[in-house]
Copies of this chain bind each other. A is one copy, B any other.
Amino acid sequence: MKSFIQIPFDSHFPIQNLPFGIFSTQQNPTPRVGVAIGDQILDLTAITTLFEEHVPELKDPSNVFSQSSLNSFMSLGKPLWQATRRFLQNILSNGNPELRDNDQLRQKSFVAQQAAKMHLPAQIGDYTDFYASKEHATNVGVMFRGKDNALMPNWLVFIDSFYIGRYINLKKKRSRVHLPVGYHGRSSSIVVSGTDIVRPCGQRLPVKDQPPIFGPSVKLDFELEMAFFVGSGNKPGERIPIDQASQHIFGLVLMNDWSAWEYVPLGPFLGKNFGTTISPWVVMLDALEPFLTNGPTQDPTPLSYLEHNVPSAYDIQLEVKMKPNESDSFKTLTRSNLKYMYWSLKQQLVHHTVNGCNMRPGDLCGTGTISGRTEDSRGSLLEITWNGQNEIEFENGIKRKFIEDGDEIILTGYCKGEGYLIGFGECTGKILPALQ
């Protein structure tokens, strides 16, 4: 499959990908729906007459694609997402002259990504974060049980309960994993890649048994995650069966779940909800299908509502890079892979609705930090520096234990196909100093 648009071999956005996003331009500052192709954006509001002709089942495309979020398009359901994708691959293909040879239409249909401003892809009604990586949970659990740890005993209690359900008998060294643990996050502070994040303030307990003090977080971290958008939901009181789960998932983005590790007493609440960054392009499940693979063996076998006997993990290579404020270049901190996750995306969604909790189009579910088994695949500075015990060295003697003001973090990721990549672009963010 080739497009008439020139696609460099290392582009994240070949014709096999076609992720959806919301963009605007200086000439037309109204946010609207576009699809990434190479270094261009195909403006779907510019080709609505083509939609009317070729995808008649998609009613009122000018309305759906002129929205400032993907929620309307998502709520149409998977058959229409797929019809749209098939049409776009067709109209962009090398062999189809309809758009290729129509200079006037091409002129108004394509926008250089460099000239566009990206927006949040959806209005996120509810945001949930899971803890689906066993390795991350194990790292954090072991870390705060190590004899050298200088943290207060509350940490222990907190971490125990944070991973409860998965680590019910951790103290007996038995890791019984029966369900994907999740918690609700804050949707108001989810921002699109490139948005600066202000260092949060809060209460800290630097000295045990002394009163807390107020000030900026001193253990600010990234967390390497991915997240899926729910495309079509379920009614209150109903549940999504495992064999229909992929019908409800629209697509995936990269996510940096910024964290202030003063959880106690700042709490997981204020330690997380000051900002969460996602990448702007939503890669549809259909584009990722060639990269389905088996996830880790699940032992014990999950209860039947969580059981699937088909490959349900995705082989997505992930990387995190960091640029200290006083440096000019990025250094790779870690390389991981979504396939390491113990629980699949389908299992996360099914478990979320097993009690009748209703999902809506545009709801976002994060995977939790994606850490692998090796030291160079740890998904957070907390794990990489082992809670600040080890420093990371950058060029010119620059060192870091956690994130300092002005530091920048980039998450990136892709699947490697035969001669092409299915990429997610970048998820970037810079930390600004705390407010006085």
SS class, residues of chain A in contact with chain B: loop
Whether a CB of chain B sits under 8 angstroms from the CB of A175 is no
* Docked CA distance A186–B357 (Å): 9
**Contact: A355 with B178, CB < 8 Å?**
no
B residues near A169, Cβ cutoff 8 Å: 209
**Contact: B269 with A182, CB < 8 Å?**
yes
Whether a CB of chain B sits under 8 angstroms from the CB of A192 is no
> Chain B residue with minimal CB distance to A238?
B435
Whether a CB of chain B sits under 8 angstroms from the CB of A140 is no
**Contact: A237 with B435, CB < 8 Å?**
yes
Binds B, one of A96-104, A154-162, A247-255, A322-330: A154-162
B residues near A265, Cβ cutoff 8 Å: 164-165, 168, 178-179
Whether a CB of chain B sits under 8 angstroms from the CB of A211 is yes
* Docked CA distance A199–B121 (Å): 34
* Docked CA distance A187–B362 (Å): 13
* Docked CA distance A358–B266 (Å): 17
Whether a CB of chain B sits under 8 angstroms from the CB of A300 is yes
CB distance from A174 to the nearest CB of B (A): 9
**Contact: B270 with A357, CB < 8 Å?**
yes
Whether a CB of chain B sits under 8 angstroms from the CB of A360 is yes
B158, B165, B176, B270: the one contacting A355 at CB < 8 Å is B270
**Contact: B157 with A188, CB < 8 Å?**
no
B residues near A200, Cβ cutoff 8 Å: 355-357
Whether a CB of chain B sits under 8 angstroms from the CB of A50 is no
**Contact: B211 with A300, CB < 8 Å?**
yes
Given A164-B264, A211-B300, A184:B269 Cβ within 8 A: yes
Digit string of A169-202 for contact with B (CB within 8 Å is 1, else 0)?
1000000101101111111110100000110111
B residues near A264, Cβ cutoff 8 Å: 164-165, 168
Chain A positions 242-275 with a Cβ under 8 Å from a chain B Cβ: 260, 264-271, 273-275
Chain A positions 35-55 with a Cβ under 8 Å from a chain B Cβ: none
B residues near A214, Cβ cutoff 8 Å: 303-305
CB distance from A301 to the nearest CB of B (A): 9
**Contact: B355 with A273, CB < 8 Å?**
yes
> Chain B residue with minimal CB distance to A152?
B168
**Contact: B236 with A275, CB < 8 Å?**
yes
B residues near A176, Cβ cutoff 8 Å: 211
Whether a CB of chain B sits under 8 angstroms from the CB of A119 is no
Whether a CB of chain B sits under 8 angstroms from the CB of A296 is no
B residues near A354, Cβ cutoff 8 Å: 201-202, 270
**Contact: B158 with A188, CB < 8 Å?**
no
**Contact: A357 with B237, CB < 8 Å?**
no
> Chain B residue with minimal CB distance to A239?
B435
**Contact: B260 with A355, CB < 8 Å?**
yes
B157, B187, B352, B363: the one contacting A157 at CB < 8 Å is B157
Whether a CB of chain B sits under 8 angstroms from the CB of A405 is no
16 contacts between A and B (CB under 8 A): A125-B187, A160-B161, A161-B161, A176-B211, A178-B212, A179-B212, A184-B186, A184-B269, A188-B233, A189-B357, A198-B237, A198-B356, A200-B355, A201-B239, A237-B274, A270-B354
Known contacts A126-B186, A154-B164; 15 further A-B pairs (Cβ under 8 A): A125-B187, A128-B269, A157-B157, A157-B161, A157-B164, A164-B267, A168-B264, A184-B186, A184-B273, A189-B357, A198-B356, A200-B357, A202-B354, A270-B355, A271-B355
**CB within 8 Å of B: which residues of A?**
125-126, 128, 154, 157-158, 160-162, 164-165, 168-169, 176, 178-179, 181-189, 191, 197-198, 200-203, 205, 209, 211-212, 214, 217, 233, 236-239, 260, 264-271, 273-275, 300, 303-305, 351-352, 354-360, 363, 432, 435
Which 6 pairs, one residue from A and one from B, show the smallest C-beta to C-beta distance? Answer: A198-B237, A200-B355, A165-B265, A184-B184, A161-B161, A270-B355
